[in-house]
């Protein structure tokens, strides 16, 4: 454990003054947080977020072996609050998944909860806050006051971050977490989705669901290159499972087939009330499935 912590000893905290945002960085964790509130309250909440993040990596590393185990009914209960969020997010899955699938979303959720607790400790401070968000590498946890809303942008290809769709989430919405997964970028995926963006009640739940859905947006086709996960990333929780490292241009029928495979997983997760909706993208074809199970195809 000591060697891992020494590898990620670069804790950084920076206030981005022009936008009143907080940048926190520790090892693989890269957070942008924003609190829309009076300066004195915002400062207190940012301090609480920074203090909490400084303990997160050590807490996770202490239970890393446990968190890399595939979920099962007999999965040991972890001690840490973030680790418990991760396990709860994958609880009940009928497919292979480890709690690590929810780590980024769970960290974002923990930092958000820390700021909410800090706000509750200050008289009337929550009433003075309009909205807050914690963005951990694209996995977002947010909080809204009555009458406010939060707008997110959906990107089809994480390597060419062009904004493709905007989603406005009002206070009345049950959604408080957003996450994206796919074979591109930092993610490791068993599937071929360019991006799967999930909206759920929490960012940990959204993170785990995005992983499952992205794994199932899949097809067999010549030219798709897969390698053992441990060869791509030596500390991967996926071990020898094959992850996608390259996808050629695909025929439309293969793209549609892969998206429909992922859509089936979305429907299952919506029916179990695990998620609210999902946006699936593969080579400029998109599929949106909402909590009324209606679909809209673009591209």
pLDDT > 90: percent of the chain: 78
Going by pLDDT thresholds of 50, 70 and 90, the confidence category of residue 158 is: low
pLDDT of residue 6: 47
Given a contact cutoff of 8 angstroms between Cβ atoms, the answer to whether 193 and 282 are in contact is yes
- In angstroms, the CA 116 to CA 136 distance is 17
Q: Can you tell me whether residue 212 is helix, strand or coil?
A: helix
Residues in CB range of 40: below 8 A, 6 or more apart: none
Query: Residues 259-299: pLDDT tens digits?
Result: 999 999 999 999 999 999 999 999 989 999 987 544 444 44
* Rounded Cα distance, 297 and 288, in Å: 7
**Span 191-209, average pLDDT:** 97
Cα gap 279→155, rounded to integer Å? 10
**Domains in the chain, ordered, with CATH?**
2-298 (3.10.520)
Q: What is the pTM of this model?
A: 0.90
Establish how many alpha carbons lie within 13 A of residue 268's alpha carbon, considering only the half-sphere containing its beta carbon: 15
pLDDT at 133 over 50: yes
What's the CA gap between 109 and 41, in Å, rounded? 19
Least confident among 117-126, 151-160, 222-231: 151-160
- pLDDT tops 70 at residue 96: yes
DSSP 191: S
Q: Cβ(175)–Cβ(209) under 8 Å?
A: no
The per-residue pLDDT for range 11-48, each reduced to its tens digit, is: 777 877 667 899 999 989 999 999 999 999 999 999 99
HEC profile of 73-136: CCCCCCCCHHHHHHHHHHCCCCCCCCHHHHHHHHHHHHHHHHHHHHHHCCCCHHHHCCEEEEEE
Report the interhelical angle of 103-120 vs 39-61 (nearest 10°). Answer: 140
pLDDT for position 157? 61
pLDDT for the residue numbered 2: 44
Q: What are phi and psi of 135, to 5 degrees?
A: -110, 110
Asked if 102 contacts 204 with a C-beta cutoff of 8 angstroms, the reply is yes
Q: What is the pLDDT of residue 162?
A: 57
In angstroms, the CA 236 to CA 231 distance is 9
């Amino acid at each position: 454990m000591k060697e891992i912590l020494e590898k990620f000893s670069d804790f950084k905290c920076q206030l981005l003054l022009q936008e009143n945002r907080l940048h926190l960085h520790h090892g693989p964790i890269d957070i942008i947080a924003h609190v829309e509130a009076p300066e004195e309250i915002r400062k207190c909440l940012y301090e609480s977020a920074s203090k909490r993040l400084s303990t997160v990596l050590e807490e996770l590393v202490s239970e890393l072996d446990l968190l890399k185990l595939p979920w099962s009914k007999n999965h040991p209960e972890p001690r840490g609050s973030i680790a418990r969020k991760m396990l709860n997010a994958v609880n009940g899955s009928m497919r292979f998944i480890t709690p690590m699938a929810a780590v980024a979303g769970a960290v974002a959720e923990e930092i958000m909860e820390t700021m909410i607790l800090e706000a509750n400790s200050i008289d009337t401070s929550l009433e003075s806050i309009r909205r807050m968000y914690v963005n951990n590498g694209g996995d977002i946890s947010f909080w809204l006051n009555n009458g406010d809303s939060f707008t997110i942008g959906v990107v089809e290809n994480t390597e060419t971050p062009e904004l493709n769709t905007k989603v406005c989430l009002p206070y009345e919405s049950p959604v408080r977490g957003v996450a994206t997964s796919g074979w591109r970028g930092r993610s490791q995926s068993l599937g071929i989705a360019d991006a799967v963006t999930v909206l759920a009640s929490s960012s940990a739940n959204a993170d785990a669901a995005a992983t499952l859905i992205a794994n199932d947006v899949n097809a067999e086709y010549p030219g798709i290159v897969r390698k053992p996960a441990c060869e791509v990333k030596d500390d991967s929780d996926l071990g020898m499972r094959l992850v996608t490292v390259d996808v050629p241009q695909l025929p439309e029928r293969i793209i549609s087939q892969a998206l429909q495979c992922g859509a089936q997983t979305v429907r299952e997760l919506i029916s179990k009330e695990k998620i609210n909706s999902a946006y699936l993208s593969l080579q400029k074809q998109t599929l949106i499935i909402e909590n009324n199970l209606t679909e809209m195809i673009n591209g």
